[in-house]
Amino acid sequence: MKPAFAGVIVMVFGAGAILQVSPAFAQDLQLRPWLRNLFSPRRAERVEPPANVPQKRQPQATAPRKKTAVRSNPAEAASPPVNVVEKAADARVVLVVGDFMASGLADGLTTVFAENPAVRVVDRSNGSSGFVRDDYYNWPGEIGPMLEAEKPAVVLVMMGSNDRQQMKVGDTLELEGPIGRFTLRESERPILMIAGATGFAPIKSILEDAFRRGIKRPIELYWGVRLPHDLYMQDLLAQWQERYSNFRYIPVLSDIGDEDPWSGRRGYVHQALLVDHPDLTGYEVYACGSTRMVEVAVPDFLAHGLGEEFCFSDAFVPSFEAPAAPEPA
């Protein structure tokens, strides 16, 4: 099966869209200014009619019209400047692609989520390019690297109605995103996960996928770091343990002194796993961390009965090469 992008794709043609939100959500986001920001053309893009074009004369009214007082709506007043907060390192990415209309959409979304540190909007629109016109801009060739670089949670595609060309309602648009092998396998075996330091990030992604799919197999996560402050998102892991009865989390510290009041596990993370599971026959192991950790842990796991075909690892390889030692004089 050909792998495809696993996020959410929303396609909008033309200048309108239908949004369905809860009343509480609409009130919280001030829905009317939000829609105005999303779909109103920006001031710099408004085109005034030429001055020399004769205007049609309007017919004279046969009777005077009753004037109606127009009351200003405070909600329609100019919005105050938005305070843009610093985005979290793990903020969900909303990727916006398409033509000039997508640029306006991205501006509106940026305003909406300006004060939300958990959402980052990325504008990858391209002016007047037609989405299916590779003679203007090769979107099919560019969308893959965009997904690879941004790793979005949601992709929004917006284009003008003139850019649809020969596309018809019901046509399929295929997008291929990042393809990796460090993913949860289909089986009935209990799962052991070991994360070294920042190796928690890919492990967290696999856990989220397992919970979303309703996996009921026993899952144990051993996360090894040097000191307590190297652990993060502990509240989330505590919530997972509370919510999912098949999930257990064990933090392990390797560089903590004997005098420290830490009451948890100490030492190397893979050794902590082996103390609890000296016989790995029948298990499935996922290991992610430094190359050194993986090189040490995997042979130990195999020596304790783990089948090689049930050991999956993702080692972090440095992106630079160490300088070669100088030649002796």
> Which of 11-20, 109-118, 161-170, 264-273 has the highest mean predicted lDDT (pLDDT)?
264-273
Cβ atoms of 236 and 208 within 8 Å: the answer is no
User: What is the average per-residue pLDDT within 101-126?
Assistant: 87
Query: Does residue 16 register a pLDDT over 50?
Result: no
pLDDT at 103: 82
What's the CA gap between 149 and 147, in Å, rounded? 5
pLDDT at 82: 64
Query: Does residue 251 register a pLDDT over 80?
Result: yes
215: Cα within 13 Å, side-chain hemisphere: 20
Pairing of strands 191-196, 219-225: parallel
Domain layout of the chain by residue ranges: 1-43+80-179, 191-316
pLDDT at 317: 65
List, for residues 18-55, the tens digit of each pLDDT value: 333 334 434 444 444 444 444 444 444 444 445 554 55
What's the CA gap between 18 and 8, in Å, rounded? 17
Which has the higher per-residue pLDDT, 172 or 128? 172
> Which of 58-62, 243-247, 256-260 has the highest mean predicted lDDT (pLDDT)?
243-247
Query: Does residue 131 register a pLDDT over 80?
Result: no
H helix intervals, the chain: 23-29, 31-39, 100-112, 139-150, 200-213, 234-243, 269-276, 291-303
Which has the higher per-residue pLDDT, 133 or 194? 194
List, for residues 149-183, the tens digit of each pLDDT value: 888 988 888 876 554 455 667 777 776 665 678 89
pLDDT at 129: 61
pLDDT at 178: 59
Phi, psi of 222 (to 5 degrees): -110, 115
Cβ atoms of 96 and 111 within 8 Å: the answer is no
Architecture of the structural domain at 191-316: 3-Layer(aba) Sandwich (3.40)
Query: Does residue 12 register a pLDDT over 80?
Result: no
Which has the higher per-residue pLDDT, 174 or 144? 144
pLDDT at 98: 81
pLDDT at 319: 52
Mean pLDDT is lowest, of 108-117, 184-193, 219-228, for 108-117
For residue 69, count other CB atoms closer than 10 A to its CB.
4
pLDDT at 190: 98
Q: Residue 243's closest CA among 210, 276, 291?
A: 210
